[in-house]
């Protein structure tokens, strides 16, 4: 039998060793213990009182406001609007002398964040004004959570840091300047993200206010009624929290997809079909009665002894809620336009697995492959099967596992029942806790593994029938040779941590295993207790809740378990809270659930005070409780003369532990961060108004809009998403500043272009990142500085230790979750003059556990645990945020292609290099600056960039890649996708069908010789467009040469071994000057020749007949003129005779004039007669 823990007759706990107690009766020891607890409480209370007087305890307060409620006190809104509001043209159009572009559309987010702070639990308007006058400005950091479906959305870790703008309340004020004020920032929304973390901190001026985090999530289960009130779509809100709903009701687990569920749901309300629902992680919550039919029908295949309305199981995912009532399962999908881009919300609860008898639901804590999962365990006719549910973009589907036979048939037993199931997404493995009922023997349990890919069932482990006898040890490796107690093992569930491969089997015992086959029994957990559920931080901490509502704590990597509640330490903590008149603790309370949030343990508690009940979310101070436990068990009484001297033994091996040499975090955390400041207002008081806040909204919206539009295949000349915004306005920057300095800016608003930028140089904050991304062969290094302490807290000068003593007193241990994938190198340096030891720790990827994947896809979860030997549970550091446990560092690692890396077409260098090599460059007739053209007859030399969107690095892609034409068309509107067979024919050098589009002189090909392998040093691409290719014989649409748009795929998958990244780039390549086919060219030549000959013939004929035709036309013209002239003469003469006979009464002057006219008219016809005689 192999055993662990302390060896010998004495435990590692000093209080258990008889030799440590003084000689004498037992009553002085008890009296000293009681005095010790009282002394500890007084000391801590006095210290807290001193700290309270010295520094006021202030905290941030954040609420959500719509446009209409800005500046109104006491107003808060729910986050359910997901679309931007109307354009801000009326606000931006007056900004004529400003760097904003008048041609752009500036939109606005629907919400603001309203920020205040309070000190000592009381909000004071005077304190807020004082903070403003002393220069305090809240700094808001909004972190957008990446979506589940990476097939639909790009995986990225985006943050935006905004400085809040001061704003006066719109209510009446008798003061000259301000009575009530607050700070405001826009609350941005990002497509694909429904869960946002808001961190509010100070700019370093004014009062000290520690950073505080808020959950600001979109609630897709709300809708607006006709009277503009909000209503839950899942049911009806209950406003009266009746005590019977919570008092003395057993706590229940909170199940959800980790870091993805914006709305959490918790059932367990006795005899009510109601749930607790929250979108702020229980900062506030709502009791909702669900709109379900509650139909229940017992049958022979699904016997139900008791019917109840209670919702027993509830699971929350990114956009869908699941519940179980009796044997029925329902789901409801919320309305999330930012996720689905359309209304996929459910109109009502949908019942699934209607013909099945479901006995319980099992959660899957992590998503994978773009989907979330939930499992339903059956009873009755489907006993031995698991209904495996998949949720993708709100669509739910179930399949039965195993696929072809039940678990009972697979493990060859007659009767079995699945008690619990765990899904390991990275390996596509389903672990099941199976109870086998054997009529000849007692029931026993086995851990069975099912491979979803190979459809194979394997028995991994058979759980012992009885609890092992640890014989005083903390843990025991179960090998089958150990002795057992008379307590029967009753397994109830399992829990799996994918980061460290740690599997827990729990019941009235606790087993753990790192390989699912060899198990360790943790002996600190009492045999007379039974575990109800486990909660895990996934950062090395586990909390356990028993059936009697006890809370136990386990630090992963160790085997010591601590009981947090009930305990003496808990009594001390509560006493101190009561002394400070805390409202989070009362004599009558009931724990509703226990959960982790941001690596801290929280309780949701129902408190009764004065007959009134309320739900409260409060922190479980694990570090304080562990520290309070130490003095009562680790002390020493020494006789000094005639009296006893009390001293404490400090088991922490060091006094100081610091992290040093931390690298810049962004390259490992992959966090992209933008910075935005409010526009400067020219009002002397510095307060903003509605217009300036709207300008702030529009600028933040456009900043994120530029970020989303930056992901395009053609690389900009400058690797920065904000470059295009200000590139034409930078020259006028001094002019804008001059206007603002003279108070002449339009709308009294000055926009500083440098205030809207992307940050690439974040520095480490003396702590390890939450997670680290490692690419192929990359490493992460840091150092740990440890100062060695003496054995006790006695006041005596510490001597300088030797090198050997220092090395023996402090040592560093490393635990690797996947030793085949990660290696750790630890170097030690002893600093004798400082009684310290410096450890250099380097984590390195071994290039063996990942193939190639897209950026941020299918990452492998693993971890490294770095611990100072002997420090677990003994070492604490007091900070302004409270006690912090030291000596145990859990580092989550994600191996694969990190998010934020991309391959881009370097169009700028490609054009320059092609001009240099081909001695010329001809662009298209109609120039498109976003997509330059390349000439068909020129050799094409493409170049690509590897761009890091996180660090701002951009360099030439030096690896190998495969170049394929996967689509094309003569115009952008007619581009089509080619089939796999067509892609092979158009690109493979092995093609024999005369279909190649291009070729190259490079001889390197893939292993199957199917495609050419290109590099940045390749000899270029020659365009062919052979007879059977789609670009052959392209018909021109104008007098210019034919054009063609090629859809090109560039990928390094399988040909580049330098990275885990499968860089895939698809872009359109515009080629002009394509040649015509021989037939079409001959046809055009013949037609052109015929047309030319015809034109020449017509010209010759025209030249020969021109003179006769001109002469004939002249003759014809004169004849026509003669005829017209003669007819007009005779007509006029006859009319003159009639006129002279009837005008006898005219005067002489008129007669003489008429006679002259007639004489003149009589002479006119003689001329043509003479001309006729001449001709």
* pLDDT score for 35: 45
Top pLDDT among 1167 and 373 is at 373
Q: Report residue 14's pLDDT band, with 50, 70 and 90 as the boundaries.
A: very low
Cα dihedral value 46, 51, 52, 55, nearest 10 = 170
| pLDDT of res. 55 | 59
Q: Is 963 left (phi over 0), alpha (psi -120 to 50) or beta?
A: beta
User: Residue 228 has what pLDDT?
Assistant: 82
pLDDT tens digits, residue range 477-499? 999 889 999 999 999 999 999 99
Q: Tell me how far the alpha carbon of residue 61 is from its chain's centroid.
A: 25
Which residues have a Cβ under 8 Å from the Cβ of 219 and sit 6 or more positions away? 78, 79, 80, 262, 263, 279, 334
pLDDT, tens digit (0-9, with 9 covering 90-100), for 1040-1081: 888 999 999 999 998 998 899 999 999 999 999 888 877 777
- 1105 confidence band (pLDDT: 50, 70, 90): confident
Q: What is residue 812's predicted lDDT score, i.e. its pLDDT?
A: 92
In this prediction, residue 801 carries a pLDDT of 66
What is the average pLDDT value for the chain, to the nearest integer?
A: 86
Output the pLDDT for position 17.
31
Query: If we measure between CA atoms, which residue out of 733, 730, 739, 709 comes closest to residue 721?
Result: 709
What integer pLDDT is reported at residue 1004 of this predicted model?
86
Cα dihedral across residues 265, 269, 273, 274: positive or negative: negative
CA–CA dist 933, 1060 (Å, integer): 33
The share of the chain scoring above pLDDT 70, in percent, equals 88
Give 608's strand partners. Answer: 588, 613
Nearest to 62 by CA among 234, 259, 196, 170: 196
Region 187-201: what's the mean pLDDT? 94
Q: Which residues contact 259 (CB under 8 A, 6 or more apart)?
A: 145, 195
In this predicted structure, the answer to whether residue 1100 has a pLDDT above a threshold of 90 is no
* Confidence band, pLDDT 50/70/90 cuts, at residue 1131: low
pLDDT value for 790? 58
pLDDT of residue 1145: 43
pLDDT band at residue 1132 using 50, 70 and 90 as cut-offs: low
Res 28: pLDDT: 39
Is it the case that residue 19 has pLDDT exceeding 70?
no
- Rounded Cα distance between 224 and 77, Å, is 12
Check if the beta carbon of residue 616 is closer than 8 Å to that of residue 584.
yes
pLDDT tens track for 843-859 = 999 998 888 999 999 99
Whole-Å CA distances, 339 to 143, 260, 317, 348, 970: 17, 12, 13, 20, 35
Say what the pLDDT of residue 1023 is.
Answer: 93
| Nearest of 1047, 754, 1067, 1071 to residue 905 by alpha carbon | 1067
Q: Which of residues 187 and 1041 earns the better pLDDT score?
A: 187
Q: Is the pLDDT of residue 639 over 80?
A: no
Cα gap 48→55, rounded to integer Å: 10
Q: How far apart are CA 543 and CA 554, in angstroms?
A: 6
The residue count of the chain comes to: 1175
Tens of pLDDT, residues 305-352: 678 889 999 999 999 999 999 889 999 999 999 988 777 788 899 999
Which pLDDT value is given to residue 245?
A: 93
What is residue 1031's predicted lDDT score, i.e. its pLDDT? 92
Q: How far apart are CA 993 and CA 972, in angstroms?
A: 27
Residue 575: closest CA among 616, 639, 625 = 625
Report pLDDT for 47. Answer: 44
The pLDDT of residue 20 is above 50: no
**797: pLDDT strictly greater than 50:** no
950-974 exposure pattern, b = at least 16 Cβ within 10 A, e = fewer: bbeebeebebbbbbbbbbbbbeeee
Q: Decide if pLDDT at 561 tops 50.
A: yes
pLDDT over threshold 50, residue 1155: no
Q: At what angle do helices 1148-1163 and 1106-1141 cross, to 10 degrees?
A: 150
pLDDT at site 121:
62
Q: How high is the pLDDT of residue 640? A: 75
Kindly give, in sequence order, each residue whose CB lies less than 8 Å from that of residue 916, ignoring residues fewer than 6 positions away. none
**Coil, helix or strand for 243?**
helix
pLDDT-based confidence at 266, cuts 50/70/90?
very high
Supply angle C-alpha 391, 396, 401, rounded to 5: 85
Can you give the pLDDT at residue 1174?
Answer: 34
Looking at the chain, the whole-number percentage of residues with pLDDT higher than 90 is 57
Beta strands in 173-258 (DSSP E): 181-186, 195-201, 212-217, 222-224, 230-232, 235-238, 255-256
C-alpha pair distances (Å), 616 with each of 250, 255, 583, 592, 925 = 16, 19, 9, 10, 70
């Amino acid at each position: 039998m192999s055993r662990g823990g302390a060896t010998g007759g004495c435990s590692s706990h000093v209080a258990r060793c008889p030799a440590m107690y003084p000689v004498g009766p037992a009553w002085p020891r008890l009296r000293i213990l009681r005095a010790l607890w009282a002394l500890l409480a007084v000391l801590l209370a006095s210290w807290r009182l001193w700290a309270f007087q010295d520094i006021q305890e202030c905290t941030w307060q954040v609420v959500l406001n719509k446009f209409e409620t800005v500046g109104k006190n006491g107003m808060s809104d729910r986050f359910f609007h997901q679309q931007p509001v109307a354009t801000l043209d009326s606000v931006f159009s007056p900004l004529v002398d400003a760097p904003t572009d008048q041609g752009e559309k500036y939109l606005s987010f629907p919400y603001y964040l309203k920020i205040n702070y309070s000190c000592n639990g009381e909000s004071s308007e005077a304190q807020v004004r004082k903070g403003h006058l002393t220069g305090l400005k809240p700094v808001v950091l909004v972190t957008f959570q990446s979506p589940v479906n990476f097939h639909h959305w790009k995986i990225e870790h985006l943050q935006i840091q905004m400085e809040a703008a001061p704003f006066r309340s719109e209510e009446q004020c008798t003061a000259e300047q301000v009575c009530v004020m607050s700070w405001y920032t826009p609350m941005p929304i990002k497509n694909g993200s429904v869960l946002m973390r808001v961190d509010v901190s100070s700019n370093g001026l004014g009062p000290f206010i520690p950073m505080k985090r808020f959950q600001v999530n979109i609630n897709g289960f709300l809708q607006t009624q006709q009277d503009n009130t909000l209503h839950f779509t899942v049911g009806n809100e209950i406003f009266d929290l009746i005590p019977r709903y919570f008092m003395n009701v057993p706590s229940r687990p909170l199940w959800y997809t980790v870091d993805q569920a914006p709305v959490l749901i918790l059932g367990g309300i006795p005899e009510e079909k109601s749930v607790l629902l929250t979108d702020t992680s229980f900062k506030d919550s709502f009791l909702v009665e669900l709109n379900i039919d509650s139909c229940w029908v017992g049958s022979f295949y699904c016997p139900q002894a008791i019917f109840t309305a209670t919702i027993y199981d509830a699971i929350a995912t990114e956009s869908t809620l699941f519940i179980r009532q009796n044997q029925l399962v329902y789901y409801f999908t919320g309305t999330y336009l930012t996720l689905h881009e359309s209304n996929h919300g459910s109109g009502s609860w949908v019942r699934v697995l209607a013909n099945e008898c479901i006995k319980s639901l099992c959660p899957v804590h992590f998503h994978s492959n773009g989907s979330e999962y939930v499992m339903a365990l059956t009873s009755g006719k489907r006993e031995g099967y698991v209904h495996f549910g998949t949720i993708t973009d709100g669509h739910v589907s179930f399949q039965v596992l195993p696929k072809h036979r039940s678990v009972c048939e697979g493990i060859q037993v007659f009767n079995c029942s699945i008690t619990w199931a765990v899904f390991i997404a990275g390996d596509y493995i389903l672990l099941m806790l199976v109870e086998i009922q054997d009529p000849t023997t007692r029931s026993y349990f086995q851990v069975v593994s099912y491979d979803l890919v190979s459809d194979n069932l394997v028995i991994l482990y058979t759980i012992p029938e009885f609890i092992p006898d640890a014989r005083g040890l903390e843990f025991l490796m179960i090998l089958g040779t150990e002795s057992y107690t008379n307590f029967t093992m009753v397994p109830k569930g399992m829990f799996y941590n994918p980061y460290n491969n740690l599997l827990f089997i729990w019941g009235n015992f606790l087993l753990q295993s790192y390989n699912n086959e060899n198990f360790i029994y943790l002996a600190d957990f009492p045999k007379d207790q039974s575990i109800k559920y486990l909660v895990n931080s996934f950062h090395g901490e586990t909390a356990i809740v028993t059936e009697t509502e006890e809370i136990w704590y386990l630090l992963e990597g160790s085997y010591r378990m601590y009981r947090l509640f009930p305990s003496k330490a808990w009594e001390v903590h509560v006493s101190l809270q009561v002394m400070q008149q805390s409202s989070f603790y009362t004599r009558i309370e009931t724990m509703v659930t226990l959960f982790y949030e941001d690596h801290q343990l929280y309780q949701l508690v129902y408190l009764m005070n004065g007959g009134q009940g309320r739900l409260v979310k409060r922190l479980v101070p694990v570090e304080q409780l562990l520290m309070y436990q130490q003095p009562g068990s680790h002390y020493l009484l020494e006789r000094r003369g005639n009296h006893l001297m009390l001293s404490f033994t400090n088991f922490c091996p060091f006094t100081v532990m610091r992290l040093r040499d931390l690298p810049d975090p962004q390259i490992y955390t992959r966090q992209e961060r933008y910075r935005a400041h409010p526009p400067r207002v020219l009002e002397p008081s510095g307060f903003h108004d509605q217009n300036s806040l709207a300008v702030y909204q529009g600028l933040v919206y456009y900043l994120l809009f530029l970020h989303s539009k930056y992901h395009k295949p053609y690389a900009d000349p400058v690797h920065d998403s904000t470059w295009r915004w200000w590139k034409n306005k930078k020259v006028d920057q001094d002019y804008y500043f001059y206007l603002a300095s003279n108070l002449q800016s339009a709308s009294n608003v000055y926009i500083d272009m440098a205030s809207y930028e992307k940050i690439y140089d974040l520095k480490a904050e003396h702590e390890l990142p939450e997670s680290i991304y490692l690419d192929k062969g990359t490493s992460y290094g840091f150092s740990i500085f440890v100062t060695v302490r003496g054995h006790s807290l006695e006041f005596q000068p510490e001597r300088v230790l030797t090198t050997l003593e220092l090395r023996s007193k402090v040592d560093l241990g490393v635990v690797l979750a996947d030793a085949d994938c990660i290696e750790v190198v630890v170097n030690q340096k002893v600093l004798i003059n400082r009684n310290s030891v410096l450890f250099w720790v380097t984590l390195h990827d071994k290039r063996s556990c990942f193939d190639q994947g897209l950026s941020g896809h299918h990452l492998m979860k693993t971890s490294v645990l770095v611990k100072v030997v002997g420090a677990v549970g003994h070492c604490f550091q007091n900070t302004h945020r409270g006690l912090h446990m030291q000596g145990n560092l859990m580092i989550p690692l994600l191996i694969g292609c990190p998010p934020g890396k991309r391959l881009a077409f370097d169009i700028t260098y490609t054009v320059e290099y092609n001009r240099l090599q081909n001695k010329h460059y001809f662009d298209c007739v109609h120039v498109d600056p976003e997509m330059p053209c390349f000439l068909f007859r020129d050799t094409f030399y493409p170049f690509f960039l590897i761009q890091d969107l996180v660090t701002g690095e951009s360099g030439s892609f030096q690896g190998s890649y495969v170049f394929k034409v996967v689509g094309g068309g003569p115009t952008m509107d007619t581009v089509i996708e080619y089939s796999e067979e067509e892609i092979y024919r158009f690109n493979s050098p092995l093609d024999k069908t005369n279909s190649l589009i291009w070729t190259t002189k490079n001889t390197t090909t893939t292993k199957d010789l199917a495609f050419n392998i290109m590099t940045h040093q390749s000899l270029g691409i020659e365009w062919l467009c052979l007879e059977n290719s789609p670009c052959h014989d392209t018909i021109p649409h104008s007098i210019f040469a034919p054009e063609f748009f090629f859809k090109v795929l560039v990928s390094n998958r399988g040909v580049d071994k330098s990275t885990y990244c499968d860089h895939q780039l698809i872009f359109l390549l515009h080629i002009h000057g394509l040649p015509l086919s021989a037939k079409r060219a001959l046809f055009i030549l013949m037609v052109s020749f015929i047309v030319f000959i015809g034109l020449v013939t017509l010209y010759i004929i025209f030249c020969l007949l021109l003179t006769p035709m001109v002469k004939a036309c002249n003759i014809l013209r004169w004849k026509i003129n003669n005829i017209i002239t003669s007819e007009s003469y005779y007509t006029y003469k006859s009319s003159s005779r009639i006129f002279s006979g009837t005008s006898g009464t005219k005067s002489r002057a008129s007669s003489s004039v008429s006679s002259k006219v007639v004489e003149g008219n009589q002479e006119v016809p003689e001329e043509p007669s003479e001309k006729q005689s001449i001709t």
